[in-house]
Amino acid sequence: MIRSILYATDLGLYASYVLQHALAMTRSFNADLYVIHAVEPMGLFAESVLQTYLDENTLSELRRNGLGTVMSSIEQRVLEGFRDELGDGVADLHLIRAVRVVQGDPPAVILEETQKLGVDLLVVGSHSHGADLAVPLGRTAARLLQLSEVPVYLVPMLQHRGHGEL
C-alpha cells in the first residue's frame, strides 16, 4: 500500500508535468506527498562569483547564517511556483505535506530523504531540463533506479516522445 510519496524535482521545464503525475498518484492512493529539490554544492567558481558580486557585509552574513536562509527562500519560491503552475488545480497544494531544498549530490540527497521520510514511492522525471535526446536516461534518474529501496515511478519527458527507437 502506498501511504506516502516523495516527488524529487529539478525545477526544470518539465517539473510541472511530473508534479501532475505525483499529485494524481497522491490523490489515487490518498497518500501524503513530500517534495525534495537538491541543490548542487557550490564549487570554487560559484564562490568566486559570490565574492565578485556581493559586498563584504552580505557575503559575511551569508557565511554566518549559512545557506539555511537561502534554502528556506528557495522552498517558499518552489511553493509559489507550484501555485502558479497549478492554476485551477491550486486546491491540490494541500496534498503537499512539505517541501525541502537540500544542498548536496542530487541522487544522494533524494535517497537520504526517501529513507528519512520512510516513503513508499519515489516520483522522478526521466531527464533533467536540457537533456540530450540521445541520452536514454538522466544521471540522477539512473542512479535512483539503481539504488532506491522503494519503487520508482519514472515519468518520461514530453520532448522524448515519438523520438525513441525500438
Going from the N-terminus, what domains does the chain have, and what CATH number goes with each? 4-160 (3.40.50.620)
- The pLDDT of residue 166 is 45
Q: What is the pTM of this model?
A: 0.79
More confident residue, 76 or 151: 151
- The pLDDT of residue 123 is 97
What is the helix, strand, coil percentage profile of the chain, to 5? 50, 20, 30
**DSSP conformational letter for 149:** S
Q: Is the torsion defined by CA of 3, 119, 154, 103 positive or negative? A: positive
Residues in the chain: 166
More confident residue, 87 or 26: 26
CA distance 79 to 96: 9
4 near 120, Cβ under 8 Å?
A: yes
